[in-house]
Amino acid sequence: MPSLEEELFPSTPGKFKIDRGHTMNRQFNRCFASTSTMFLWALFLIALTASYLSFQSFVDSGSRYFTASWGGIQWEKQIRSSAQIHRSKGMSVLVTGAAGFVGSHVSLALKKRGDGVVGIDNFNSYYDPSLKKARKSLLNSRGIFIVEGDINDARLIAKLFDIVAFTHVMHLAAQAGVRYAMENPHSYVHSNIGGLVTLLEACKTANPQPAVVWASSSSVYGLNEKVPFSESDRTDQPASLYAATKKAGEEITHTYNHIYGLSITGLRFFTVYGPFGRPDMAYFFFTRNILQGKPITIFRGKNRVDLARDFTYIDDIVKGCVASLDTSGKSTGSGGKKRGPAPYRIFNLGNTSPVTVPTLVLILERHLKVKAKRNVVDMPGNGDVPFTHANISLAQRELGYKPTTDLETGLKKFVKWYLTYYGYNRGKAVH
């Protein structure tokens, strides 16, 4: 039987007798047949190419689906396992920003006491993602699963609520930093407003609705000059876009509480510091520069007044976060419909003992045993405020919140972690 190639391109037979009377007709027919065959072959190649491209597109789309960062049976199994509660009357908590500074510490504290914890983080590059990856590894070692995804991804958030009936949400994901807002303002609106609304939309439609505790900021006090800052003080004069987005968050959460019956607790953090902290914070990059022999820039306010901050150690903040979850009360809505009034609360979480930045530097010098190279300049108009000071009486009364770590003790713990994490104790410092 002739092959396909032979059928499409037949070979010329041996000697044969030419019929001169039909030579021209045969040549014409042969030419026509050859042209028709080539045309059919071209159509075949076109169809084959189209089929290949169509198949390749299917493979590529399938590959993108199956290699997505979330989804699948194993993925869902990990989430359910991480969300399992291991104590009586425990809670199942979705922690956003779980690979962040506060988020990682809160997740560890909840897991340690037997609560179910599922984290989500987008691992953005606002600061070195390797630090977030290190926190993730620590959480994984304690049985906490971190979903790599964005809180603006409504499909992902909805999927998480489909898999787990979370009793609480600890919303700590945000675009942080006051000065960076001047470089990338849209990231603050995207994360701090858009992401918050996406999350609240999922919470309002969940059945049962979770109670929501979220991180506002002491920055909302803005240009307020009354000290110490109290929750009842005016917060309509933000000094930065970051502060404005956090203030907007407080108004948005109040709306969802009022309309949909979500239990909401907002926490105004005051300058949180400690091990595994954020590299964009002054105490962190001061430490780095001092050890590397580089100068540090110290800002001062009007009339050469030293800036001061109500530095609050991470362990104290974690206690306030956990106490807020424990006392949050229940949401009252169902399927997006409010059934009755639900708690709406705002608390300051600070140390209520402001310390000047030059004093912070002196403490770091003492623990690092290295003298800092100071460069003192006037504070630029970049959104920073000259001082912060928390009135924590409401949190003390309602949450039993009582900070116990002073700056001297807290920085000693931070320095010990820093020297170990970056290899100074092994003589192999890496930054």
Q: What is the pLDDT of residues 232-282, one digit of tens each?
A: 999 999 999 999 999 999 999 999 999 999 999 999 999 999 999 999 999
Specify whether the CB–CB gap between 313 and 351 falls below 8 A. yes
Distance CA 169, CA 213 (A): 6
Q: What is the pLDDT of residues 42-80, one digit of tens each?
A: 444 444 444 444 444 333 333 333 334 678 999 999 999
- Helix (H) / strand (E) element for 409: namely helix 407-421
Cα distances (angstroms) measured from residue 91 to each of 7, 27, 382, 426: 74, 89, 41, 41
Write down the pLDDT at residue 336.
Answer: 81
Tokens of 233: 């003080």
For the chain, what's the residue count? 431
**2: Cα separation from own chain's centroid:** 66
Write down the pLDDT at residue 334.
Answer: 84
- The domain limits of the chain are 78-272+314-350+388-404
**φ and ψ at 164, to 5 degrees?**
-130, 135
Q: Is 313 a known active-site residue?
A: no
Which string of DSSP letters, residue by residue, matches 285-315?
HHHHHHHTT-EEEEEE-GGGPBPEE--EEHH
- From the candidate CATH numbers 3.50.80.10, 3.50.50.60, 1.20.140.10, 3.40.50.720, the one assigned to the domain spanning 78-272+314-350+388-404: 3.40.50.720
Question: Which string of b and e fits 15-37 if b means at least 16 CB within 10 Å?
Answer: eeeeeeeeeeeeeeeeeeeeeee
Specify whether the CB–CB gap between 171 and 92 falls below 8 A. no
Point out the residues of the chain with pLDDT beneath 70.
1-69, 381-384, 426-431
Q: Which residue's structure tokens are 């000094």?
A: 239
- Active-site choice (188, 221, 242, 313): 242
Write down the pLDDT at residue 179.
Answer: 85
89: left (phi over 0), alpha (psi -120 to 50) or beta: left
Write down the pLDDT at residue 25.
Answer: 47
* Nearest residue to 197 via CA among 151, 146, 136: 151
* Angle between helix 154-163 and 196-205 (nearest 10): 40
pTM summary value = 0.83
Question: Which string of b and e fits 266-300 if b means at least 16 CB within 10 Å?
Answer: bbbbbbbbbbbbbeebbbbebbeebbeeeebebbb
